[in-house]
Structure 1
């Protein structure tokens, strides 16, 4: 993922240089950065999925059957409610302590209001698909299959948090970074748990999409 992001940025700068753009030395604009990040995540997720955790027909059929169970949808709803509640509590705690815990995705506010369908499609449908494939199916799923689900839950959740708020690169600063990491790590742990509980990757994907949808609506409303 890191290599793909760096390569994408270098290619963008190279193309800007060929065009003779005066700002070729500057970083790419937000839409280009997000597209590069999505492409890097997609490449990493699909490659490791294909070679390490490619689902067979039995697993796919079981996943679809699990999706039809009422308990699966209860787990999805419970996960979204738990995440929103934890995020709200973390935000209130940060404000009361004077900690800046501004998430990096806060920059999506203006683009969401300008082109809501484009950015909501990216944040709600596309990004969760690749992230669940990589962090839950591959990273967590590999250790789950090896008989170490709790180790997989911890490691995949830490990786999930670090990717969303890279040290020194995100919007958060100081103790705020730790708050954001705790929120994202909790999110990753809950998604891993409901994946294991239901046996269907659709469960964390839809819960992830629902959480992102609420977050996008809040950003559009300026909350």
Structure 2
């Protein structure tokens, strides 16, 4: 690796090529599967798991398969909430870390996180670039700054995770978040009984123009200290 000063001037560092097998190449397994078995019941790469299949889970089979999501554009709920929310990781920070930093703050629109909307969906709702919109469903709502782009298909909106939560009425379930945190829109629903992983990308929402006075973002304001 270069020295820090050199790296800071160039902002890049080229890593040397790895020698030998790449991690995950299973070279030893291919060369001698008896001597270098995998930590699976068969010692091989398994597509079907008898153990998982024996659990009898209705939402996780013993082999890869497709299950209809609870919320997607093919669900009945899409009649009320016709936009599929993609809540990906942000490019302007690490999860929620440094949301108060200059790089993250510089990406916001009037203090709100940008939400990307297809121009067709925006036009049908009277939304233009830079307008503040309300993203909502039955679980909650949040404000965001509209960015019109063909990078998302019609019927899809994209709002990155990590904006610091800033509820209008703290302690009130379903209160609006004025700072664009998609956690108020996604469900606390696991991927399956087996994994218990998050299902953050399976959420339906709608978007409307926000016409009320814009509330001040207080997420970065320290609390009052009592001495």
**Which structure carries more strand by proportion?**
2
**Larger RCO, structures 1/2 (Cα 8 Å, 6+ apart):** 1
Instruction: Tell me the TM-score normalized by structure 2.
Output: 0.23
User: What is the TM-score when the length of structure 1 is the normalising length?
Assistant: 0.23
